[in-house]
Structure 1
Amino acid sequence: MYKIITLFLIFFTSGLANIGAQPYSVEVNMPEVLVSTVETEVSLDFVSLPDSLRQQVSVLAGGKLQHLSWKEHTATFVTRFEQQQELKVAVRDKVLYKKELNPIPLWFSVLPPLIAILMALLTKEVFSALFMGLFVGTTILWKYKGFSFFISLFKGLFSVVDTYALSALLDKDHLSIIIFSMLIGGMVALITLNGGMKGVVTILSKYAQSPRSGQFITWLMGLMIFFDDYANTLVVGNTMRPVTDKLKVSREKLAYIVDSTSAPIAAVAFITTWIGAELSYISDGIILLGLDKSAYQVFLNSLQYSFYPIFTLGFVLMLIVKKKDFGPMLKAERQARTEETDEEDRPRVHLPQIVKEIEVGGDVKGRWYNAFIPVMVVIWGTMAGLAYTGFDADIWHDTTLKTSTKLSIIVGNADSFKALLWSSLGGVLVALVLTTAQKILRLKEAIEGLVNGFKTMFSAVLILVLAWGIARITQDMHTAAFITELMRHIRLSPQWIPALTFVFSAMIAFSTGSSWGTMAIIYPLILPASWHISMEAGMDTARALPIFYNVVSSVLAGSVLGDHISPISDTTILSSLASRCNHMAHVRTQLPYALTVGGVALFAGTIPAAFGVSSWLLMIAGFVLLYLLIKNKGKKVDA
């Protein structure tokens, strides 16, 4: 009996000892997506590992022992995974972790955006192109996680929605962009329906007494309605058409002026329906690169390189002032001056439903202040919001800093998304009060108009969501690293990246007819790649930033150029519709002008600016060159 009790006590105490001495283990943390040849950081979190055994830890990856950096109970190492290989973590002879890794080949990372581009070229449609690019990417990810091809197809299809689209919508900044875009769309609809836009145009149209003054007022209106290219096109085109018809200005010239002021001014103005998307793409890029800049700062600095939009606005004005044209436009203008053409003789153009919903009824009285006040609320509200969210008393009272530097720091520290949301909501509420208080529309009708304004932004929101998904999958698959490697092999100088970006963006926008879709495809690829290439070329931050700003503006400028020369572009089509101009006649007469300005912007602006020539000097030189081209090549319309 004594022996039995003794044995029981021995077994019991040894069991307690084993329970108290918990065996050590390791938790391995690495990116969910592994891409070959890309540097990957792996962290090893050890549990209950005695300090005395740290030197006995060995990590084998790809047949090579890895050097570990310790911080408390966590060890990290950086390696490049090549093809299929084994990762093994051991302490002495005890294996704690063993797994076969199957990294995605680096060149696969370019497939999602490449498929999106090819689909856009084939289908001439950006929504399906972005979706297919995203679908191809998710399928590749699941295939390299070890699933069969058919299972990967199903999982990839579902991941488009439950992973990438959902993550895009769950991002706070992304939601801010969506809400801001919808609010601006709603405000534009309200100030159109309440006669605000009509009132502003009516006042200015009184000063149109000749073909030149009529074109100038049209151009001026295009600048004043800067916050939305659709509103600009539809309002200016529809309102000024009777005036320009009376003054014998060709419908082709009206469509050109409308088209060449709407997108360019919306692309570079501070408060527009474009700014949300632009800030979103820029913000994603600078967060990825870890730059100490705000999206608004980058946007403002990039404006000095926006040669094509700015040159286009000046080129239109010079054509008007000099009363000259060339190419097919000259023939159209001379024909309009000499022929008597009534409204009934004009070709009939069938309007889509969206245009009819935004058009102003003939019985609506024009009241300029109904547009002016809400727009001012948005403009000044945004400025106030930026000042409020970014103000720092210590910086403002620092006498060693210039006022411009203080303002730049305040804007850089500001929460631009909050400022845009506050101001756009204020603009909508003011427009709603003005519309109902004057009994122009009943509250129910005003809300219906507001909702119709929201609907006009749906396509833009859908493009944004798909674009954010493409941006994330290119980040997961390290597409920027592939482009960087490619550029390194061909030894491309960083100074040529802005020019290539401009041309490539123009080609994509021409093929898709969408400047927004082009920005969605190009921005996530080129921003990280251009920065990495500049760094690997030995540039410091001060030298790389001007090229980065140039690339930011080149995507936007190239998108607008491609949009102008594309017969399937939304703004090109809307310009034809609003001006009641034959669509292909508009495309044919605008094409030489857009390509002329695009060539000057590229060779006299983007390229020399990338090599360090002052952008302000290039602006002057570009305008001089365009003036000389008009003077020497253009001919008087009234001759």
Structure 2
Amino acid sequence: MNFKIFIILFTMFFSDHLAQEISYPSILLSEVPNKISVKNIPNTIDTVNLIVKNGDWQQTFYSKVEGSEANISVFLPSSGKYSFMFFEGGYKTSIKTVMPGWLSIVPPLLAILLALLIRQVIVALFAGIYVGLLFIYEFNPLTALLRLIDTNLFNALIDPDHIYIILFTLLIGGVVGIISKNGGTIGLANQITKLAKTPRSGMIASWFMGIVIFFDDYANSLIIGNMMRPITDKLKVSREKLAYIVDSTAAPIASLVIISTWIGYELGLIGDGLSAINSDQNPYEVFIQTLPYRFYPIAALFFVFITSYWERDFGPMHKAEINARKLKLSEKEVNNQKANIAKSQLSLSKTRWYNGAIPILVILIGTVAGLIFTGINSLESAGIKNYGLDDIIRESDSYKSLLWASLIAGITAVLLTISQGIRKLEETIKAWHSGVQSMMIACIILVMAWGISSITNDLKTADYVISILSDSINPRFLPAIVFVVCGLISFATGTSWGTMAIVMPIVIPMASTITGIEGYSAVDSHIILVGVISSVLAGSVWGDHCSPIADTTILSSMASKCDHIAHVKTQLPYAIMVGLVTLTFGDIPTAFGLSPYISIVLILSVLTGLLFIVGKKVEV
């Protein structure tokens, strides 16, 4: 008797622990593929099937077993109550509610619309996440609110890669804070401004300074605008032209260089998008691959240079330049402006260029060294002995490299400041803290972006958009479409970072899936993917340049002491022309296979020709 009881209990325990587990998505949607996972499948079974019923509609879905698991892709034609029947010693039935597929686009669409209306990206992203969670948790408002903070944002925050990005962003903000206060950036600027003797050299010096102060767009705008204004005033360069030079170098250079306050943010969005498509590509490697496809930032920097070098302008800018050349600014006015700037700066004896250059070099050299070290270490740990530079970069850990480099650069900046008696330790730490604080909003937006990325992934937003667009859009035009859409969103919201956060999680999976549906080769699919990522980053900067409510546009006019509306009116024709040229000769042809380097040559040539056709020499 006892033996029989033992056998029954053993059988119950054994069968319970070997029972097949069925996992459904957090939300089932119509009109998109829904992945249903089955685990603990006996090795005697090589195929599983799932019967799905809704009224008179019924369909059986099959999947091959791999190991002890199977993933069944289920496409449901409409919303409503569905019966899911799975055979396991008899059919077991589960009743599930299927939501309309169009609900999947509501959270990101709501985030975009709110950002347009209230111009508060954090609030817009918060609302998008909350509405998405309402759908997932069957419209329970309290559960959705609690899961927003304890699950969605918490998971976004504790992801190891995300933590690396946040720490790096904060640390490099601290470095910028210190070198802005110890006179390093001013010292760099002073070395360059010594060369400014004519309107042309003054404008080129301003442009070159924008290239040198590449690590942060805000610091770039504020430093160059304030430092160059007295000089360009004396040289009779219009405030509008100075504001244009400042604005059109700040964000483009910060978005392009491999070390800046932008890099962590961009890597975070790229990495999250790659994770959504289960790609094992290194985000840093993909970032590098996108650089030659960033046509707008490259062209914007070039156009600033040629308009300055040839002193040719058109539209409202030409009129502003003519008026400035006619205006004679007295020495007293110039000296007063210099005195006002000097009040908020260190004495000239303490504005040493190397205090800014050394920490920046530490970040550059440290990051490269970190990439090489982590790449080689990863390859050799895997037993690989023969490898090249591409292999090293591919296997490197960019997040750790950036983190190490920014930490060492921060320590270097502190030691340089204290050892020369420029600032006391307490003042230096305050400067570091101020720099860190300046990046907090960016970090909050980044966490919210990861949060809505998770929502769009759960709701299969990209899959739904793909189901609508796959029959009507040629994937070759995706980079161009994304560039225009990002430009419009950034223009309307005034934030390039917010635009990236909203759009990137959608377009990476969309590009990957559409090219797969169309049967594109791996090479062509990768070209489209890189083009789409580049278009998000470039289009966001383009819209930001055109927008009168963009923070960098406002900062540039403020630092240059230029009337804000005058700055917008004079810059807008330039930004639109450059954007249209890059779209026509860059985003479209490269998606069809043209080399991005040939496109760059074409773009620069066309812009030069257009400047000589529509531009006029600034002569009085």
TM-score by length of 2: 0.91
Alignment check: 8 A CA contact 1:38 1:481 kept: yes
Which residue is equivalent to 1:296? 284
Cα distance between partner residues in 1 of 2:73 and 2:383: 40
Q: Aligned to 2:28, what secondary structure does the other structure show?
A: coil
AA matched with 1:619? I
Which residue is equivalent to 2:52? 61
Between 79-88 and 514-523, report the one with greater CA deviation. 79-88
Cα distance between partner residues in 2 of 1:340 and 1:504: 44
AA matched with 1:273? T
Q: Aligned to 1:99, what secondary structure does the other structure show?
A: strand
Alignment check: 8 A CA contact 2:46 2:65 kept: no
Q: Aligned to 1:279, what secondary structure does the other structure show?
A: helix
Cα distance between partner residues in 1 of 2:490 and 2:369: 35
Between 407-416 and 67-76, report the one with greater CA deviation. 67-76
Compared with structure 1, are the counterparts of its residues 434 and 536 closer, same or farther at alpha carbon in structure 2 (3 Å cutoff)?
Answer: same
Which residue is equivalent to 2:119? 124
Which residue is equivalent to 2:618? 637
Alignment check: 8 A CA contact 1:245 1:251 kept: yes
Cα distance between partner residues in 2 of 1:311 and 1:77: 47
Cα distance between partner residues in 1 of 2:253 and 2:374: 27
1:85 and 2:79 are equivalent in the alignment? no
Which residue is equivalent to 1:459? 441
1:109 and 2:104 are equivalent in the alignment? yes
1:280 Cα deviation (Å)?
Answer: 1.2
Which residue is equivalent to 2:327? 339
Cα distance between partner residues in 1 of 2:507 and 2:344: 39
Q: Aligned to 2:12, what secondary structure does the other structure show?
A: coil
Alignment check: 8 A CA contact 1:235 1:359 kept: no
Q: Aligned to 1:226, what secondary structure does the other structure show?
A: coil
1:233 and 2:201 are equivalent in the alignment? no
1:625 and 2:616 are equivalent in the alignment? no
Which residue is equivalent to 1:527? 508
1:276 and 2:252 are equivalent in the alignment? no
User: What do the CA deviations read for 1:209-242 (whole angstroms, capped 9, x no partner)?
Assistant: 0111011111000001111111111111111111
**Aligned with 1:428 (options 400, 410, 415):** 410
Compared with structure 1, are the counterparts of its residues 482 and 65 closer, same or farther at alpha carbon in structure 2 (3 Å cutoff)?
Answer: closer
1:320 and 2:311 are equivalent in the alignment? no
Q: Aligned to 1:216, what secondary structure does the other structure show?
A: helix
Which has the larger Rg? 1
Between 183-192 and 117-126, report the one with greater CA deviation. 117-126
1:70 Cα deviation (Å)?
Answer: 4.8
Counterpart mapping for 1:99-178 below 5 A: 99-143=94-138, 149=139, 152-178=140-166
Compared with structure 1, are the counterparts of its residues 33 and 249 closer, same or farther at alpha carbon in structure 2 (3 Å cutoff)?
Answer: same
**Aligned with 1:22 (options 6, 12, 15):** 12
Alignment check: 8 A CA contact 1:120 1:512 kept: yes
1:127 Cα deviation (Å)?
Answer: 1.6
Counterpart mapping for 1:569-588 below 5 A: 569-588=550-569
Q: Aligned to 2:36, what secondary structure does the other structure show?
A: strand
Alignment check: 8 A CA contact 1:33 1:477 kept: yes
1:67 Cα deviation (Å)?
Answer: 3.9
Cα distance between partner residues in 1 of 2:375 and 2:46: 50
Alignment check: 8 A CA contact 2:32 2:467 kept: no
Alignment check: 8 A CA contact 1:195 1:364 kept: no
Which residue is equivalent to 1:7? none
Between 259-268 and 243-252, report the one with greater CA deviation. 243-252
Counterpart mapping for 1:546-557 below 5 A: 546-557=527-538
User: What do the CA deviations read for 1:145-199 (whole angstroms, capped 9, x no partner)?
Assistant: xxxx4xx122222222112111110111111111111111111111111011111
Which residue is equivalent to 2:190? 202
User: What do the CA deviations read for 1:245-267 (whole angstroms, capped 9, x no partner)?
Assistant: 11111111111101000100111
Alignment check: 8 A CA contact 1:252 1:329 kept: yes
1:108 Cα deviation (Å)?
Answer: 0.9
1:71 Cα deviation (Å)?
Answer: 6.2
Between 186-195 and 35-44, report the one with greater CA deviation. 35-44
AA matched with 1:106? G
1:76 Cα deviation (Å)?
Answer: 5.6
User: What do the CA deviations read for 1:445-499 (whole angstroms, capped 9, x no partner)?
Assistant: 1101110001110111111011000111000111110111111232x11111011
Cα distance between partner residues in 1 of 2:48 and 2:284: 48
AA matched with 1:172? P
Q: Aligned to 2:74, what secondary structure does the other structure show?
A: strand
1:206 Cα deviation (Å)?
Answer: 1.0
**Aligned with 1:512 (options 471, 487, 493):** 493
1:412 Cα deviation (Å)?
Answer: 1.1
Compared with structure 1, are the counterparts of its residues 220 and 154 closer, same or farther at alpha carbon in structure 2 (3 Å cutoff)?
Answer: same
Cα distance between partner residues in 1 of 2:68 and 2:385: 47
Which residue is equivalent to 1:146? none
1:81 Cα deviation (Å)?
Answer: 4.3
Between 59-68 and 598-607, report the one with greater CA deviation. 59-68
**Aligned with 1:498 (options 479, 496, 500):** 479
1:131 Cα deviation (Å)?
Answer: 1.2
Which residue is equivalent to 1:477? 459
1:536 and 2:517 are equivalent in the alignment? yes
Compared with structure 1, are the counterparts of its residues 531 and 75 closer, same or farther at alpha carbon in structure 2 (3 Å cutoff)?
Answer: closer
Cα distance between partner residues in 2 of 1:75 and 1:484: 24
Compared with structure 1, are the counterparts of its residues 611 and 13 closer, same or farther at alpha carbon in structure 2 (3 Å cutoff)?
Answer: closer
1:387 and 2:372 are equivalent in the alignment? yes
Cα distance between partner residues in 1 of 2:47 and 2:267: 50
Cα distance between partner residues in 2 of 1:252 and 1:306: 26
Alignment check: 8 A CA contact 2:116 2:493 kept: yes
1:31 and 2:25 are equivalent in the alignment? yes
Q: Aligned to 1:436, what secondary structure does the other structure show?
A: helix
AA matched with 2:107? P
Unpaired runs of 5+ in structure 1? 1-9, 144-148, 350-355
AA matched with 1:237? G
Identity among equivalent pairs (%): 41
AA matched with 1:444? E
Between 388-397 and 127-136, report the one with greater CA deviation. 388-397
AA matched with 1:134? I
Alignment check: 8 A CA contact 1:192 1:360 kept: no
Q: Aligned to 2:105, what secondary structure does the other structure show?
A: helix
Q: Aligned to 2:372, what secondary structure does the other structure show?
A: helix
1:35 Cα deviation (Å)?
Answer: 2.4
Cα distance between partner residues in 2 of 1:58 and 1:269: 51
Which residue is equivalent to 1:264? 252
1:247 and 2:241 are equivalent in the alignment? no
Q: Aligned to 1:85, what secondary structure does the other structure show?
A: strand
Compared with structure 1, are the counterparts of its residues 514 and 395 closer, same or farther at alpha carbon in structure 2 (3 Å cutoff)?
Answer: farther
Alignment check: 8 A CA contact 1:194 1:364 kept: no
Which residue is equivalent to 1:191? 179
AA matched with 1:18? I
Cα distance between partner residues in 1 of 2:413 and 2:293: 35
**Aligned with 1:446 (options 420, 428, 432):** 428
1:72 Cα deviation (Å)?
Answer: 7.2
Alignment check: 8 A CA contact 2:33 2:463 kept: no
1:574 Cα deviation (Å)?
Answer: 0.7
